[in-house]
Amino acid sequence: MIFDLIKDRRAVFPAQYNDKTIDRKDLEKILEAANWAPTHRKTEPWRFKVLTGASKESLGYFLSQKYRETDPKPKELKARKMIEKTQQAAAMIAICMQRDPAESVPEWEEIAATAMAVQNMWLCCTAMKIGAYWSSPSLIQFMDEFFPLAKGERCLGFFYMGYYEEDPEPGVRTPIEDKTVWLN
């Protein structure tokens, strides 16, 4: 049932992934789920760049180097972890948003639509027992130096994916009643 799937969705981090690869057909299914996200005025602003193999490792080295160049006091451990995370992931998807050239909707709506596309991917991953995690490091501002971005396109983060052995901790939420006001 969809409600159970929603409740089971968790962030599963790269350190928890095993060495099993994700088949291309499964990545395509995950991307197809993203494509069915709601979109105001049908702008479909989500754009994805899939990284596997050498490309994700190159991304790790790029991020590590860019961190060393831009941080006034870079920490070697943090620089190494940037490389390790990309190596631990079976696949990564750069989450990008393409701004509607006509600006027919506010930018926040296109960011929200892209986030809904990511939620669809995450739910699909949960159903397929693939761990996933969305990271938005400040270094995404430099992604146009790593891969081409179209005019009006920007990177919003990375979606790390991998199979895992141990089930994630169950989720905990405060009651919805604490966050709801009923107006009659």
Q: Given this model, what pLDDT does residue 184 score?
A: 94
Which 3 state secondary structure label does DSSP give 90? coil
Q: Given this model, what pLDDT does residue 25 score?
A: 98
Q: Given this model, what pLDDT does residue 170 score?
A: 86
Strands (E), the chain: 46-51, 91-98, 130-135, 153-163
Residue 1 CB contacts under 8 Å (≥ 6 apart), including other chains: none
Tokens of 6: 């929603």
Q: Report the 10 Å Cβ neighbour count for 145.
A: 10
153-163: strand order across its sheet: 46-51, 91-98, 153-163, 130-135
**pLDDT one digit per residue (tens) for the chain, 184 residues:** 899 999 999 999 999 999 999 999 999 999 999 999 999 999 999 999 999 999 999 999 999 999 999 999 999 999 999 999 999 999 999 999 999 999 999 999 999 999 999 999 999 999 999 999 999 999 999 999 999 999 999 999 999 999 999 988 888 999 999 999 999 9
Tokens of 86: 């990309």
- 96 beta partners: 47, 155
- What's the residue count for the chain? 184
In single-letter form, the type of residue at position 154 comes to R
Q: Helices 53-70 and 76-88 meet at what angle, rounded to 10? A: 160
Q: Given this model, what pLDDT does residue 138 score?
A: 96
Domains of the chain: 2-165 (3.40.109.10)
